[in-house]
Amino acid sequence: MVDAVSSSNAAAASGTGRARLAENFDTFLSLLTTQLKNQDPLAPMDSTQFTQQLVQMTGVEQQLLTNDLLEKLVANTGSGISTAVSLIGKEVRADSDQAALSGGKAEWVYKLDRAATDVKVEVLDSKGRVVQTLAPTDNTAGEHTFKWNGKTANGSSAPDGVYSLRVTAKDSGGATVPTGIIAQGIVTGVQQVDGKTVVTINGAQIPWEKITLIRQAPTSEPGGATTASNNNSATNNSDDEETSTPAAA
């Protein structure tokens, strides 16, 4: 892993070098112009000397540009893309409210810090518009799995894409209950987006530094059974009226 302090110092040194080069180049041009204006017409300056100086200045500038490219390369390596590739095929959890709807299926995990009496779960599209609002019936403290079938509030099917989840909760006294949302799934891809390493989880691209847990993916046993760790969470499926009901308007 690249030392962040060393990288920062290198970037600062490169920036200082560029500033000094600009100052020296301006000074060099000023001196050259003054010399040309005041040279003896009968004994003009040797153009070879200042041509060599120009070449040297250009060489330094090119070296600084090369340093910039190397810094970007080191930053990309240090940002984790080489490490994140090893996550492909692993099950991970990340602090993110995003999940992709595909084939009428999207899934999130949310947590309640303590028991609540009133919980509202809202699904938002990429423009921040609420497309579905549901009221889970299991409001105990802990983690809960929320599965959305892609149906909007008016009963139509939402198009595939990335959606966000928003959870608000209150206790019996009307006080706000702290909540959190977790993206959980298998990593299917890793890429660089705007210079940052992102991993694809449940079809959504999530910065890899938001990952909080990595574990082996569930394995299928003979007969189709799946073995996986259990977080003892309840399932709030919008297909099941016993666990999730439409929220009051």
pLDDT score, position 3: 43
Positions of the chain with pLDDT lower than 70, given as ranges: 1-19, 21-22, 25, 45-46, 50, 57, 72-82, 220-249
Residue 77: the pLDDT is 53
187 and 140 inside one domain: yes
Write the pLDDT tens digit of every residue in 126-184: 999 999 999 999 999 999 999 999 999 999 999 999 999 999 999 999 999 999 999 88
The neighbour count for residue 169, using CB atoms within 10 Å, is: 22
Q: What's CA 86's distance to the chain center, in Å?
A: 17
Mapped onto helix, strand or coil, the DSSP state of residue 86 is helix
pLDDT at residue 232, as a whole number: 39
Domain boundary among 78, 108, 134: 78
Residues 72 and 134 in one domain: no
Mark whether 50 and 171 lie in a shared domain: no
d(CA 18, CA 10): 12
Please answer whether residues 196 and 88 qualify as being in contact, where contact means their C-beta atoms are separated by less than 8 angstroms.
no
35 and 127 belong to one structural domain? no
Q: What is the pLDDT of residue 52?
A: 77
**Cα–Cα distance for residue pair 194/237, rounded to 1 Å:** 35
pLDDT at 243: 43
Domain count, the chain: 2
Shared domain for 153 and 218, answered yes or no, is yes
Q: What is the pLDDT of residue 234?
A: 39
Whether residues 30 and 96 share a domain: the answer is no
Task: Provide the pLDDT for residue 182.
Answer: 92
Strand-strand pairing, 161-170 and 142-148:
unpaired
Total-model pTM: 0.57
98 lies in the same domain as 64: no
For residue 221, the enclosing domain spans 85-246
Q: Where are the extended beta strands (E) located within 106-237?
A: 106-112, 118-124, 130-136, 142-148, 161-170, 179-193, 196-201, 204-207, 211-215, 219-220, 226-227, 234-237
Give the separation between CA 25 and CA 37, rounded to whole angstroms: 18
Provide the CATH number for the domain around residue 172: 2.60.40.4070
Among residues 40, 62, 78, the one where a domain terminates is 78
User: Is residue 13 domain-shared with residue 99, that is, in the same domain?
Assistant: no
Question: Pick from 78, 113, 128: which residue ends a domain?
Answer: 78
| Residue 216 and residue 136 share a domain | yes
Q: Are residues 114 and 231 in the same domain?
A: yes
Q: Say yes or no: 100 and 197 in one domain.
A: yes
Q: Are residues 101 and 207 in the same domain?
A: yes
Which whole-number Å values give the CA distances from 7 to 61, 70, 207, 235, in the listed order? Answer: 20, 11, 21, 45
**Residue 245 dihedral angles phi and psi, to the nearest 5°:** -125, 155
